[in-house]
Amino acid sequence: MSTRPKAQPLLELKNLRRSFGGTKAVNGVSLTVYKGEILGIIGRSGAGKSTLIRCINGLEKPDSGSIFYKSRDSAGLTLEESRQMRRRIAMIFQQFNLLSSRTIIDNVALPLKLAGMSKIARRQKAAELLQTVGLGGKEQHYPAFLSGGQKQRVGIARALAAGPDILLSDEASSALDPETTQAILQLLREINRKMGVTIILITHEMEVIRAIADRLIVLDKGKIVEQGAVKDIFARPQAAATRALLQTIIPSLPPALAAQLRPQGHEAVIEFHLSGAAANTPFLQDLQRDTGAIARIIHGGMDTIQGERQGRFFLALNAGDKAKLAQALAWLAAKGDKSEVLGYV
């Protein structure tokens, strides 16, 4: 797990707004990005994620609000300081944005050339970066001859060339197959851990967040509707937008079982979530010991998110009578993050 020292703000957005005609794409966003973290930003299509990130890297000008970088208001910077800041914030793209007429080493060396580095120094640096991203030996290849995953590695090497503090990624893995996505995420994790680069990751895919993000921000209609540690939000999502997005990774009752649910029956079917210390207990036995109710698992299982155990189960619970059922439900409610009667069988 992360052994980060005391969280230190690197980037702070204050009440940022950006509209397009009547569309309030970013509608009053304030947030802090801490040094060394991987911050995930999720939200439905059109929530304002790309606009927000484009405001951070200067591709988009906010209508109002402020951006503080290392505690300095970006509005007060000179042109040169502003350019310096821009260089400290690098970006990788879904479409890779490589120059097809240049070899991959030239693609990576280009930002170094623009920064005024000598030819020998920049080729050496670019070769090192290609090594870092796992493309050593392919320096003279052209982008067209690389797979999607390799192209993204070149994109990452190029982004790292200027020695950024922050790496912005807007759906950088969404054009890739699941296996390649995992490899790219692993690489980003390594860059974060070994080079100390702070990463802001925009994605539609909860699997991506689950795999590498430390903290999560949920945007909806241009506003932040939820933020916190990934494991806390995954265990207890609050906002409707968060719940909707998390549907893809939270198991639901299989249709065949759902079809058997009745308004009355011997057993109550309960959706039960638990996390943290509670998830490491023999909770079905404890339930029986404390309340006499016998429950069996009909669906679901355990998961580990950021090192925390989280369980999501569908239980069929036989409590005997109504009073005992109420007692068992109270027990589950106290123990878990969620316990909801879906029906009876």
Ligand X SMILES: Nc1ncnc2c1ncn2[C@@H]1O[C@H](COP(=O)(O)OP(=O)(O)OP(=O)(O)O)[C@@H](O)[C@H]1O
State the SS3 of 116-147: CCCHHHHHHHHHHHHHHCCCCCCCCCCHHHCC
State the SS3 of the chain: CCCCCCCCEEEEEEEEEEEECCEEEEEEEEEEEECCCEEEEECCCCCCHHHHHHHHCCCCCCCEEEEEECCEEHHHCCHHHHHHHHHHEEEEECCCCCCCCCCHHHHHHHHHHHCCCCHHHHHHHHHHHHHHCCCCCCCCCCHHHCCHHHHHHHHHHHHHCCCCCEEEEECCCCCCCHHHHHHHHHHHHHHHHHHCCEEEEECCCHHHHHHHCCEEEEEECCEEEEEEEHHHHHHCCCCHHHHHHHCCCCCCCCHHHHCCCECCCCCEEEEEEEEHHHHHCCHHHHHHHHHCCEEEEEEEEEEEECCEEEEEEEEEEECCCHHHHHHHHHHHHHHCCEEEEEEEC
Report the distance separating Cα 58 and Cα 111, nearest Å: 17
Report the distance separating Cα 177 and Cα 147, nearest Å: 11
Which of Mg ion, ligand X, none binds 30 (CB below 5-8 Å, type-dependent)?
none
Closest separation in Å from C-beta 47 to ligand X: 4
Residue 174 found at the interface with ligand X (CB under 6 A):
no
The nearer residue to ligand X, 191 or 217, going by C-beta atoms, is: 217
Residues 178-217, mask of contacts with ligand X (x by CB under 6 A): --------------------------x-------------
Among 16, 33, 51, 161, binds ligand X (CB under 6 A): 51
The nearer residue to ligand X, 25 or 269, going by C-beta atoms, is: 25
The nearer residue to Mg ion, 26 or 305, going by C-beta atoms, is: 26
Residue 50 found at the interface with Mg ion (CB under 5 A):
yes
Total number of residues binding Mg ion (CB under 5 A)? 1
Closest separation in Å from C-beta 179 to ligand X: 23
Which of Mg ion, ligand X, none binds 149 (CB below 5-8 Å, type-dependent)?
none
Question: Which residues 76-135 are close enough to bind Mg ion by CB under 5 A?
Answer: none
Closest separation in Å from C-beta 170 to ligand X: 7
Among 45, 78, 140, 264, binds ligand X (CB under 6 A): 45
Report the distance separating Cα 149 and Cα 153, nearest Å: 6
Q: Which stretch binds Mg ion (CB under 5 A): 48-56, 288-296, 320-328, 333-341?
A: 48-56
The nearer residue to Mg ion, 46 or 228, going by C-beta atoms, is: 46
Residue 281 found at the interface with ligand X (CB under 6 A):
no
Residue 47 found at the interface with ligand X (CB under 6 A):
yes
Total number of residues binding ligand X (CB under 6 A)? 12
Among 13, 40, 42, 50, binds ligand X (CB under 6 A): 50
Residue 224 found at the interface with ligand X (CB under 6 A):
no
Strands 38-42, 198-202: pairing kind: parallel
Closest separation in Å from C-beta 170 to Mg ion: 6
Closest separation in Å from C-beta 52 to ligand X: 7
Closest separation in Å from C-beta 154 to ligand X: 23
Closest separation in Å from C-beta 140 to Mg ion: 34
Residue 145 found at the interface with ligand X (CB under 6 A):
no
- Residues that bind ligand X in the complex, under the rule CB under 6 A: 20, 23, 25, 43, 45-51, 204
